[in-house]
Amino acid sequence: MIPTNRKATHPGVILLKEFLEPMGITQKALAAHIGIPVQRINEVVRGKRGVSPNTAWLLSEALSTTPEFWLNLQNTFDLSAHKPEVHVEPLVVISA
C-alpha cells in the first residue's frame, strides 16, 4: 500500500537497515559478491539511485529474497514520491 501522509521508504534504506547491518556485511563486500561497482550499491543505499531490474535480480539471489520484493519496494517509493498535486475526476461513460 502506498503511504498517503509520507513518502514510502526507499529500497536503499531497507537494504541497509534490514539486510546489510544485521548481517554485518559492508556495501563493498556486497558489491564484490554480486559483481557490480560499490558506487552503485552506495547510491542505492543513499537514495540517489533506484533499484533496476538487473540489480533486483542480483540482490534477490545474494540475499535470498525475490526480484519482485526489490522492484515492489522501488515502485512503491516512486509512486509515493511522484504523487500528482492536481487530481482529476473519474471519467464517466454514458452509454447511448
The radius of gyration computed from the CA coordinates of the chain, to the nearest angstrom, equals 17
DSSP 76-91: HHHHHHT--SS--PPP
Task: Give the CATH number, domain containing residue 57.
Answer: 1.10.260.40
The pTM score is 0.86
Nearest to 20 by CA among 4, 3, 33: 33
User: What is the per-residue pLDDT across 39-61, written as a single tens digit (0 to 9) for each?
Assistant: 999 999 999 999 999 999 999 99
The structural domain count of the chain equals 1
74: domain range? 11-81
The answer to whether position 51 is within a domain reads yes
User: What is the per-residue pLDDT across 11-44, written as a single tens digit (0 to 9) for each?
Assistant: 999 999 999 999 999 999 999 999 999 999 999 9
The answer to whether position 16 is within a domain reads yes
Nearest to 34 by CA among 52, 9, 60, 12: 60
